[in-house]
Amino acid sequence: MTASQPVRSDSLFRHTLAERRIALVAWRLLTLQVAHPVVAAGMGDWSTYRAHPWRRVQHTMDSGRRLFFHDRDALRREVVRLERTHRRIRGTDPAGRAYTAEDPEVRIWVLVTLYEALTALRALSDDPFTPAELDRLYTEFRDVCGEFGLPDELWPATAADVPGYMDRTIRERLEDSPEFRYMLSGVLRAAPRPGRLWFVGPSWPVLRVLIARMVTTLTVADLPPALRERFGLRSGRGAALLSWAVHRGARHVMTRLPHRWRFRLPVTAATPAATRSRGSRRTRRRDTRPVRLDTFFRQVLDQTGDGFIGVADLRAMAHNVCWPLELSDEREAEVHAAFDIWWRHLEETMDTDGDGRIGREEFVAAAMAGVDRDPDHLAKGLHVAVRAMFRAADTDGGGHLCADEYRTLFGGSRVHPAELNQGFRELDADGDGRITEEEFVHAFTDYFTARTATAPGTHMFGRP
């Protein structure tokens, strides 16, 4: 289904999932998922959602579109993508238990909570599904999930079995944890301003506290009673009144709105113009590398947002390169291996105290010293990763990137599309609408070595 097509009226599951008011139970869905100890461990060890919560939300929305709002081929490609990503997520949790994201029981829990969120939305709105509608909803849901190839015996057999499945899992498998508590009440209090809310400006720190308080109160009120009881979460009369007013009010308002306002249809791209003109940018004689490298560290390298870069940050970067691309296992492994080489080079040349991490000032100073001292400095690490990025993004193997492939690599809420387009045009020196691998590598070289902001590569991510 494309952005111009309406939600299919013959699919109750799609129809319900596409309603904008599904956002009212989104945080409830996320906290239920994170309450599973394997999900919590995986997020704690592998996810960068603490530093980049909106990017994580966007990834989830993109994946949901491909799973539930496109054709069967797109669904199958997304299942392969998710399996490839989850294959790397494994480790040992804080209690010393081995975990893997490939555990079918865990994957079924994550999927069933999505179905349960749709039924909860209707129940909280005082408009529950009828038994016949629940059967239809669950049949459509299982039809999609059948592409995952998970064991039938682990699924609730029918819609009528889902409440019992939820209750048993809550009582027998879910665990209170720091990740659960942070998802419930902490992440929104620390979240950076979303690009779409550029207009709130400096009021965001105050606004996000108010939003976090309301979302937390609503989420606790809406969570299954068994989970509130098990985790000791209190929900008073005020919270119950908030839930009653929000859900019933949203139902009465949204169901009366025009179709285009009621439903959140899949879209291909849209990030509002968060960037404003900064006036004249005169070329200065001073060395502009420190500003660019500082920006690169904060906005690109420091994926975990802790003020340092380490192997986890480079691992997350490789993941984010692969995420929007449909790569084979071999191609994805090449990207991860290239980023491992880059990290080892960074560690060897910048981690002076051997603690396995590099600070921002340390990075800026060492990067400048490295390129000034050694002409092959970038070729030993950065260029390896850059070439792997290029080859991964060059989906047709033509030896060049077009504008769409370039935007797929570097697009996102941080950079305005106009700046990405301008960066692409500056790198496309001959104006043929494509960038070769050597032009791509040269652009990164410019970004790290040019002393003024006049070199084309200094604008490849937008202007710092």
pLDDT tens for each residue of 186-198: 888 988 888 778 7
Which two three-digit tokens encode residue 170? 């809550």
Mean pLDDT of 109-127: 95
* Contact predicate 27/219, CB 8 Å: yes
pLDDT band at residue 265 under the 50/70/90 scheme: low
- What was the pLDDT predicted at 456? 64
**CA 440/CA 435 separation, integer angstroms:** 6
pLDDT of res. 281: 39
Please give the Cα distance from 36 to 175 (Å, whole number).
Answer: 6
Is the pLDDT confidence value at 1 over 50?
Answer: no
- For the segment 251-271, the average pLDDT, to the nearest whole number, is 69
Encoded tokens for 377: 């400095």
Per-residue b or e along 387-402, where b marks 16 or more CB atoms closer than 10 Å to that residue's CB: bbbbbbbbbeeeebbb
Q: Terminal CA-to-CA distance of the chain, rounded, Å?
A: 37
What percent of the chain has pLDDT above 90? 44
| Predicted pLDDT of residue 9 | 44
Q: What is the pLDDT of residue 240?
A: 94
- Tokens for 314, please give them: 């480079």
Distance CA 41, CA 55 (A): 19
Q: Is the pLDDT of residue 60 over 60?
A: yes
Using CA atoms, how far apart are residues 114 and 120, in angstroms rounded to an integer? Answer: 10
Question: Could you read off the pLDDT of 93-116 as tens digits, one per residue?
Answer: 999 999 999 999 999 999 999 999
Q: Identify which of 344, 338, 332, 428 has the alpha carbon closest to the alpha carbon of residue 385.
A: 338
* pLDDT (average), residues 10-28: 88
Note whether 246 and 24 are within 8 A (CB): yes
Nearest to 403 by CA among 460, 331, 346, 336: 460
Which segments of 146-281 does DSSP mark as H helices, in order? 162-172, 178-181, 187-190, 204-222, 225-231, 237-254, 259-262
279-283, 361-365, 409-413: range with lowest mean pLDDT = 279-283
Q: Is the pLDDT of residue 87 over 50?
A: yes
Q: Please count the CA atoms within 13 angstroms of the CA of 388 that sit on its side-chain side.
A: 25
pLDDT given for residue 121 in this prediction: 95
Quick check: 273 pLDDT over 70? Answer: no
> Is the model more confident about 285 or about 68?
68
Angle at 294 between CA 293 and CA 297, to 5 degrees: 85
Eight-state DSSP code of residue 147: G
Q: For residues 438 and 457, what is the distance between their CA atoms, to the nearest angstrom?
A: 12
Q: How far is it, in rounded angstroms, from Cα 112 to Cα 119?
A: 11
Computed over every residue of the chain, the mean pLDDT equals 84
Token couple for 414: 């941080």
Helix (H, G, I), strand (E, B) or coil at 460: strand
Predicted confidence band at 412 (pLDDT cuts at 50, 70, 90)?
low
The amino acid present at 383, given as its one-letter code, is H
> How many angstroms from the chain centroid is the CA of residue 251?
29
Cα–Cα distance for residue pair 258/160, rounded to 1 Å: 33
* CA angle, 372 then 410 then 458, to 5°: 35
Q: Picking from 54-58, 83-87, 148-152, 438-442, which range would have the lowest pLDDT averaged per residue? A: 54-58
What pLDDT, on the 0 to 100 scale, is given for residue 445? 87
Neighbours of 403 (CB within 10 A): 15
| Tokens describing residue 217 | 């109160």
Neighbours of 24 (CB within 10 A): 24
So what's the pLDDT on residue 212?
92
pLDDT band at 146 (very low <50, low <70, confident <90, very high): very high
Segment 243-270 shows an average pLDDT of: 78
Q: Does the pLDDT value for residue 255 go beyond 50?
A: yes
Query: What's the pLDDT at 138?
Result: 95
Q: Which helix (H) or strand (E) holds 308?
A: strand 308-309
All residues at 6 or more sequence positions from 196 whose CB lies less than 8 Å from its CB, including other chains: 271, 272, 274, 413
Q: What is the mean pLDDT of residues 46-55?
A: 80
User: Residue 275: is its pLDDT beyond 70?
Assistant: no
Asked if residue 460 lies in contact with residue 447, where contact means CB atoms within 8 angstroms, the answer is yes
Stronger pLDDT, 283 or 338, i.e. the higher one: 338
- Residue spans of alpha helices (H) in 351-436: 360-373, 382-393, 403-410, 417-427
User: What band does 429 get if pLDDT is binned at 50, 70 and 90?
Assistant: low
Is the pLDDT at 463 greater than 80? The verdict is no
Which residues partner with 358 through β-bridges? 309
Average pLDDT over residues 316-332: 87
pLDDT of residue 419: 60
DSSP letter string, 29-57: HHHHHHTSHHHHHHHHHH--TTT-HHHHH
pLDDT at 415 over 70: no
Q: List the single range of 43-47, 73-77, 179-183, 284-288 with lowest mean pLDDT.
A: 284-288
Q: What is the pTM of this model?
A: 0.66
- Of 36, 168, 160, which is closest to residue 104 (Cα–Cα)? 36
